[in-house]
Structure 1
């Protein structure tokens, strides 16, 4: 079975509740925007840092390879991805999220939100 193209939402399948079981994690290869509350929940930033200088926090997280950018207009941080586009928190062997209970709101709400709401780039693991 051919995997849907993550970059072409028109190839995605209508989401059904059981699709995540045994999936290769296509959604975990997409860029993820997070808010400061997500960073605190993930344990990569403290409440004090968020209350203080967000620009200083962004600079530290960029240096540590956690994020690639921060947009002050939207207050979104863009999480860093691995060289193969996998999320930093995706286990390369099991293809499962290593921070599932603490995952960002963007991940919690997918596929209700995203490039094609109600659809996902899911396919069985090989």
Structure 2
């Protein structure tokens, strides 16, 4: 009861529900739900996980990289693919789409990724797939971020 004889009702206080936040230390490439929303500062501290994804390229990318010359672009793509497979530059070629998939190392790294620095050795000539990541890819706007392991 307060001074005026009116019984005061206790105030109802609503407490927000605290949700347990699970921090994913490192994304799993094959589990898109573990990928983190991309921010521009992520790349410098990342283990270059995007460079373990299959890199699909077109003939213009192969010309830019320097593994196909301008004269070859008019050859049947199947013939170009056969040569590139023999040289170990591509894993496969999809004749229907005209898409080549670059070879990856046994640990799934792109063949153009430097093992020590984890940087692209053809960065200025990299394919459009790499230039457009992560705007385009398995989960647009998200990245399979894994922190760089220091001392390796």
* Alignment TM class, shorter chain as reference: over 0.9
Aligned to 1:21, the other structure's residue is in SS state helix
> Which residue, 59, 72, 94 being the options, matches 2:82?
59
TM-score w.r.t. the length of structure 2 is: 0.80
Higher relative contact order (CA 8 A, sep 6+): 1
Q: Residue 45 of structure 2 aligns to a residue in which SS?
A: coil
Structure 1: how far apart are the matches of 2:85 and 2:50?
23
Q: Establish whether residue 29 from structure 1 lines up as the match of residue 41 from structure 2.
A: no
Secondary structure at 1:27's aligned position in 2? helix
State the partner residue of 2:142: 119
The residue correspondences of 1:44-83 to structure 2 (distance < 5 A) are 44-83=67-106
Question: How many angstroms does 1:122 deviate by?
Answer: 1.4
* Aligned mates of 1:123, 1:56 — CA distance in 2: 38
Structure 1 residue aligned with 2:12: none
Relative to the length of structure 1, the TM-score reads 0.96
Q: Does 1:16 align with 2:39?
A: yes
Q: Deviations over 1:29-88 (max 9, x none)?
A: 000100000000000001111112211110000001000111121110011100000000
SS of equivalent to 1:78: strand
Over aligned residue pairs, what C-alpha RMSD do you find?
1.0
5+ residue gaps, structure 2, are 1-23
- In structure 2, the residue matched to 1:97 is 120
Structure 1: distance between partners of 2:143 and 2:136: 10
Equivalenced residue count is 126
- Greater C-alpha Rg: 2
> Aligned equivalents of 1:18 and 1:64: distance in 2?
36
